[in-house]
């Protein structure tokens, strides 16, 4: 999984990838570390989506701008446009994340 460490790399990721999921995490967050158990599997289930991890504390200005105050949180982009977000501070299971992504993909198909 690629890492976002600046506003510039964030912008480049959503500009150059048609489908992008940004996963906001923090080192101190046990629920974020729980997601590490299945991130590789997530990438294999959705091979057409580019996944990125964003350390909320390292890129704090971006996180504040996007209203990311709870982690782990996810943002789904299609061609630079935010399609949907899953922002809260609760643990997210593999199934919950897949459901979120599937819902975003179905929104994309209806457009």
Question: Which residues on neighbouring strands pair with residue 73, listed in sequence order?
Answer: 24, 87
Extract the tokens encoding 20.
């992008």
Domains, the chain, ranges and CATH?
A: 2-110 (3.40.30.10)
* Sign (positive or negative) of CA dihedral 81, 101, 62, 70: positive
Q: Which of 2, 1, 13 is nearest to 62 (CA)?
A: 13
The answer to whether the CB of 54 falls within 8 A of the CB of 4 is yes
Digit-coded pLDDT (tens) for 16-34: 999 999 999 999 999 999 9
Q: Which of 43, 44, 65 is nearest to 52 (CA)?
A: 43
Q: Strand 81-87 and strand 2-4: pairing? A: unpaired
Instruction: Report the pLDDT averaged over residues 35-42.
Output: 95
88 versus 48: which is more confidently predicted?
48
Percent of the chain with pLDDT over 90: 85
Instruction: Report the pLDDT averaged over residues 67-74.
Output: 92
Rounded Cα distance between 79 and 69, Å, is 25
Q: Which residue is it, tokens 């949180």?
A: 73
Q: What is the pTM of this model?
A: 0.92
pLDDT band at 88 (very low <50, low <70, confident <90, very high): confident
- For residue 69, pLDDT over 90 is answered with no
Instruction: Report the pLDDT averaged over residues 50-64.
Output: 93
């Amino acid at each position: 999984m690629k890492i976002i460490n600046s506003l510039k790399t964030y912008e480049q990721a959503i500009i150059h990838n048609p489908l992008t999921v940004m996963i906001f995490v923090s080192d101190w967050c046990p629920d974020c570390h729980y997601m590490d158990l299945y991130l590789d599997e997530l990438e294999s289930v959705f091979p057409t989506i580019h996944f990125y991890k964003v350390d909320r504390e390292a890129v704090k200005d971006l996180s504040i701008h996007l209203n990311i105050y709870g982690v782990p949180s996810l943002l789904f982009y299609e061609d630079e446009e935010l399609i949907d977000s899953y922002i809260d501070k609760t643990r997210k299971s593999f199934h919950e994340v897949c459901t979120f992504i599937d819902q975003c993909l179905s929104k994309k198909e209806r457009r």
